[in-house]
């Protein structure tokens, strides 16, 4: 059974400032089919199954039975670069639902480049609690709240061998660690958007943990370092996405990945590559790559067994000298459809085809904008902030500046 905890960050009753209280008010929402798009964008349907060579965010309308998956992060915990963030996968369905699988360090930078409707990016499924899989928590939690989410963030993840090692404790401690940040934003942003609901399920679970709007997501155990690592499978209208975090090859993945369309599993370094990269002895290189993770040849054996519609490998530095060696190792044991993923690759899945492309990225990305529902959502009045700063510190305000008067709340 899933345990739910609601963490109330913003207490007390308050009122929202009306849109007219803002300077000139915002422009009319660019709301299309229940989703907020950046101004100037109108998504168009794909005709005759012919996709542009690159994916320009917010320009393509998903078909009613279509799934789009974007790799926001494919890399490692110890080097987060401009080209490669840590693990995060964004799944969008033709019914408007959106899901994040993992939330690794740096990955929210790539999510921001997509300029999503942030209030819809509110469901995260964490495979385990290493930083390269959940290190982007604060960026989504606080950044998403500031950018348009006005309802609680839903965070799904496994239990641990002890309560302190589970998802519930992780979320509670994350919120506690950002107390100063959260407290200081209480009057500016919607009360409900500043909350997190932690859904902790037993890591030994084999079955459905999410079942809403025709989407079923199941979890099953993985084997990685400590108890409390899992994999997931999403099923919706004949589409399926199977996601593995980090794991030694295991029977559960073989069982639940069979028949999957997009099947994502780590394809770690070869022992030789890791030994050269980190300068570690052979015994340690073999142990790390082949007993804690899944090296390329083992990845290939897994995919040859589950026979996915399209296999996706990740979790290594995608430098050219390493990439080719990993690809050659995979091809010794698997000859089916394959992508060794790099950040910001895109897969569109329909009944007829799987299309693999890259995102056309804008480095100077602007926020998407917020909806009328966000702007009118309940907030705390500015008056709650009057006691936040000590009288002696308040007395230091420069007399040469006078702020504009605050509008009266309605």
DSSP conformation class of 350: -
Angle between helices 320-331 and 296-306 (to 10 degrees): 40
DSSP conformation class of 292: I
Closest CA relative to residue 110, chosen from 269, 266, 341: 341
DSSP conformation class of 316: S
What is the rounded distance in angstroms from the CA atom of residue 61 to the CA atom of residue 397?
Answer: 51
From first to last of its 410 residues, the chain has per-residue pLDDT tens of 444 444 444 333 333 344 444 456 667 899 999 999 999 999 999 999 999 999 999 999 999 999 999 999 999 987 777 889 999 999 999 999 999 999 999 999 999 999 999 999 999 999 999 999 999 999 999 999 999 999 999 999 999 999 999 999 999 999 999 999 998 888 889 999 999 999 999 999 999 999 999 999 999 999 999 999 999 999 999 999 999 999 999 999 999 999 999 999 999 999 999 999 889 999 999 999 999 999 999 999 999 999 999 999 999 999 888 999 999 999 999 999 999 999 999 999 999 999 999 999 988 888 899 999 999 999 988 888 878 899 999 999 999 999 999 887 66
- Domains defined for the chain, CATH in brackets: 52-381 (3.60.15.10)
| Dihedral over alpha carbons 294, 296, 302, 304 (to 10 degrees) | 180
Strand residues in 74-227 grouped as ranges (E):
88-93, 98-101, 123-125, 153-158, 196-201, 207-212, 215-221
DSSP conformation class of 142: I
Q: Among all chains, which residue has been given the structure tokens 């921001």? A: 112
CA distances from 105 to 49, 152, 160, 284, 302 (A): 35, 21, 21, 25, 27
What is the rounded distance in angstroms from the CA atom of residue 103 to the CA atom of residue 125?
Answer: 8
What is the rounded distance in angstroms from the CA atom of residue 217 to the CA atom of residue 76?
Answer: 26
């Amino acid at each position: 059974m899933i345990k739910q905890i609601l963490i109330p960050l913003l207490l007390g009753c308050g009122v929202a400032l009306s849109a007219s209280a803002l300077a000139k008010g915002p422009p009319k929402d660019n709301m299309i089919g229940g989703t907020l798009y950046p101004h100037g964008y109108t998504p168009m349907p794909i005709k005759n199954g012919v996709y542009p060579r690159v994916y320009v965010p917010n320009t393509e309308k998903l078909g009613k039975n279509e799934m789009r998956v974007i790799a926001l992060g494919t890399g490692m915990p110890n080097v987060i670069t401009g080209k490669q963030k840590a693990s995060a996968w964004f799944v969008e369905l033709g019914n408007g639902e959106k899901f994040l699988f993992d939330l690794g360090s740096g990955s929210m930078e790539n999510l921001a480049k997509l300029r999503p409707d942030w209030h819809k990016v509110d469901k995260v499924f964490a495979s385990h609690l290493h930083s390269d899989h959940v290190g982007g928590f604060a960026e989504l939690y606080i950044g998403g709240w500031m950018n348009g989410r006005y309802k609680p963030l839903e965070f799904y993840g496994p239990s641990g061998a002890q309560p302190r090692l589970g998802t519930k404790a992780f979320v509670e401690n994350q919120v506690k660690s950002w107390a100063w940040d959260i407290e200081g934003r209480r009057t500016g942003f919607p009360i409900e958007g500043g909350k997190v609901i932690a859904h902790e399920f037993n890591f030994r679970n084999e079955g459905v943990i999410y079942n809403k709007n025709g989407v079923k997501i199941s979890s099953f155990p993985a084997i990685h370092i400590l108890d409390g690592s899992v994999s997931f499978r999403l099923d919706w209208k004949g589409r399926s996405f199977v996601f593995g975090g980090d794991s030694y090859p295991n029977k559960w993945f073989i069982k639940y990945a069979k028949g999957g369309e997009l099947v994502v599993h780590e394809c770690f370094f070869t022992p030789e590559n890791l030994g050269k990269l980190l300068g570690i002895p052979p015994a340690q290189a073999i142990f790390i790559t082949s007993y804690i993770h899944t090296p390329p040849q083992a990845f290939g054996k897994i995919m040859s067994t589950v026979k996915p519609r399209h296999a996706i490998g990740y979790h290594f530095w995608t430098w050219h000298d390493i990439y080719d060696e990993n690809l050659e190792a995979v091809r010794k044991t698997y000859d089916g459809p394959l992508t060794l993923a790099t950040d910001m690759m895109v897969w569109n899945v329909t009944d007829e085809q799987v299309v693999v492309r890259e995102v056309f990225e804008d480095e100077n990305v602007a926020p998407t904008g917020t909806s009328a529902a966000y702007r009118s959502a309940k907030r705390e009045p500015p008056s709650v902030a009057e006691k936040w700063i000590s009288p002696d510190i308040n007395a230091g305000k420069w007399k040469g500046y006078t702020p504009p008067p605050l509008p009266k709340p309605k």
